[in-house]
Structure 1
Amino acid sequence: MKILLLGYGKMGKAIEAIAVKKGHEIVGKINNDNIADLEDYNGSNTDVAIEFSQPGAAYDNLEYCLENDIPVICGTTGWLDNKPEIERLCESNKGTFFYASNYSIGVNIFFKVNEYLAELMEEYSEYNVGIEEIHHTEKKDIPSGTAISIAEGIIANNDKVKAWTLDESENESEVKINSIRKDKVPGTHTVTYKSAIDNIEIKHTAHSREGFALGAVLVAEWIKDKKGVLSMDDFLDI
């Protein structure tokens, strides 16, 4: 499989190492320094693009891929206000666009556990829910895309919760996301339901970027010959 890397930071390098080990070819590595080279790639010389860049670059990268017949997998967060436009472009061009806020298999199982717990807790008004996310200091978006996905899972499955916020809130209809940045933390996410009597907590702790990178490569292998707007729900079929 011929893979184009859009973004060649720590995640791009981790993806490259796993992809090469699995026998795939990296046909290009695009970042801010050589963005003009992106014009060399199209559906005839690239099987799939994996996009882990920066919020300011993601939209243009995705637009290029969808206009040039390159199936694209995206893990960049912080640009999602424009995601509906990319989805429409994918559909109109009969392209392939896969987005996930997190490619770790463990995190996506955690998402499902979170949704189920949110549904169970709906009838227990004495519990208030909160989310904490801890990431490395180089992460630019706050809150993390994964934390937003967790919050959206709670909102969709618990009618008491209507929105998420980064601010301190006494409003029981809002789930507070507490974002913490520490050196060399790949990612920790905790959901806590608190009451005067006890707490209920679920937590996912990443030990390295390898789980995220491996998930992205597995999706790249799976996506061959598939069309449309796709997600981890399609890939995992949980």
Structure 2
Amino acid sequence: MIKPEGQKGGVPTLHHLSNSQSQRILWLLEELGIEYNLVLHSRVEHRAPKEMTKVQRLGRSPTLVTAEGRSIIESSAISAYLLKTYDSEGRFAGEDWIRDEELTSFAGASMGIINTLELTLEIVAGRTPWPFVYIMRAARRGFNKAFTGAEFQKNLEYLESELGEREWFNGTHMSRSDVMLIWPVDNIAVRGWVDLAKDYPKVDAWRKRILSSPAWKRGLEKGNGYDLTSFG
């Protein structure tokens, strides 16, 4: 664990794990422009280190410790807390809060499940010893053809339609749904499960807009690695 020098009191503390969805919370903190402490944790054999259980019993990242000392897990809950507490001017409020909530839930439920299934099969196929690896690769291709491939298409067609001519999913400025959606979409793009630029240009432009933003880049500089190809 890396502890920043001179941790400040009265501000939230983000426990951040390398190569993880915690990067989107770092992005949000930078967009909010607030003071916060950052504690960096590195993965141990692709998993969060046991020391994180000292922060919250599940030992997961991201974990946000509020200025009052309360630990919050789950990106959706953390982003909701940060926006409610620190976005006093409503700069990142969704223009349609129901739609924003719907897309936020979609990111973690519909997209999260399919991404996890595809990633699990990819990892298992990549670590299966010879000669059984050929069987696992064939099984993964079959599962993708029969199920996950079609679900990726359905999900991304939905996002392409929902984005429409907007720069952000909930209007003219980023909101909580954008924070939540970047993780599953970035996974899909980086791991090459779908060709976003070719098949979903609006979603691709949205993703690239985030990755080129000053706040995202500052988050990358402050973090300790964001390599989504590190699994498998």
Would you call these one fold, judging by a TM-score over 0.5? Answer: no
Name the one with the larger strand percent.
1
* Larger relative contact order, structure 1 or 2 (CA cutoff 8 Å, min sep 6): 2
- Normalising by structure 1, report the TM-score: 0.26
- Normalising by structure 2, report the TM-score: 0.27
Name the one with the larger helix percent.
2
